[in-house]
Amino acid sequence: MARNMPIFFSFLRYLRGLIRERRADPRDDLISALVAAEEAGDKLNEDELVSMILLLLVAGFETTVNLIGNGALALLANPDHFDLLRRNPALVPTAVEEFLRYYSPLDYAQSRGARSDITLGDFVIPAGEAIAVAIGSANRDETQFDRPDVLDITRDPNRHIAFGQGIHFCLGAFLARLEGQIAFRALLEHCPQLRLAGPRESLRWKNSLLLRGLETLPVAF
């Protein structure tokens, strides 16, 4: 994690420079639209713009990359399911939902604050305490899912919370689902003999507290 911080701060400097460029010379792109956006005369300041761009980058790109990579690994590690999906491509939508549950692309949601004392089992969370929402853990809850640690691409209903819940439900959920379905249909069509190109034990997960994704997924086809 520490070795990545200089890269992260360098990227922040790049974003700030890009924002200033778009203020001076707007173009037909998303950053220019964010710079120009206003409500009742109120515009986003530079810090808010940086935060929004980072959110769009992570939530709109890296999580989808993780969904596709994690889902491919789930299929390759469970060849019976891969075979079932090849024979029944109509299962792609339910398979994508199961990939979202089984290997949640986002392990932790944004922290919350307890507004009052909360009793959870034998524990009391005091008012004002920060709460980390562990999405990956919730999606393996044995009280909510039958055989939660087993991949089941026919699981229906699938009440996972990979996209959050309530007012914090992911705005890009529909797009992410569509991208996942398109990707796996293309995978079935063009790479039906896909297989791991090395031992599964050699795979490494990214060093991240928030996101769940592989560093690389070497395959042969």
Mean pLDDT (10-residue bins), the chain, 221 residues: 78 96 96 93 93 85 94 97 97 98 90 90 92 92 96 97 89 94 97 94 90 95 91
Tokens of 61: 């790109």
Q: Which CATH number fits domain 62-106+138-220: 3.30.470.10, 1.20.950.20, 1.10.630.10, 2.60.200.20?
A: 1.10.630.10
For the stretch 201-212, pLDDT in tens is 999 999 888 889
What does the pLDDT read at residue 85?
A: 97
Query: What is the pTM assigned to this prediction?
Result: 0.81
pLDDT on residue 60 = 81
Say how far apart CA 63 and CA 73 lie, in whole Å: 15
User: What pLDDT score does 25 carry?
Assistant: 96
Radius of gyration of the chain (CA): 20
pLDDT value, residue 2: 65
Phi then psi for residue 39, to 5 deg, are -140, 120
Residue with tokens 């120009």: 36
For the record, the structure tokens of 221 come out as 């086809």
Predicted pLDDT at 1? 56
- The amino acid at residue 37 is A
Question: Which residues in 66-162 belong to E strands, given as ranges?
Answer: 112-113, 118-120, 123-125, 130-131
What pLDDT, on a 0 to 100 scale, did the predictor assign at position 112? 83
Question: Residues of 73-93 as b/e, b for ≥16 C-beta within 10 angstroms?
Answer: bbbbebeebbeebbeeeebbb
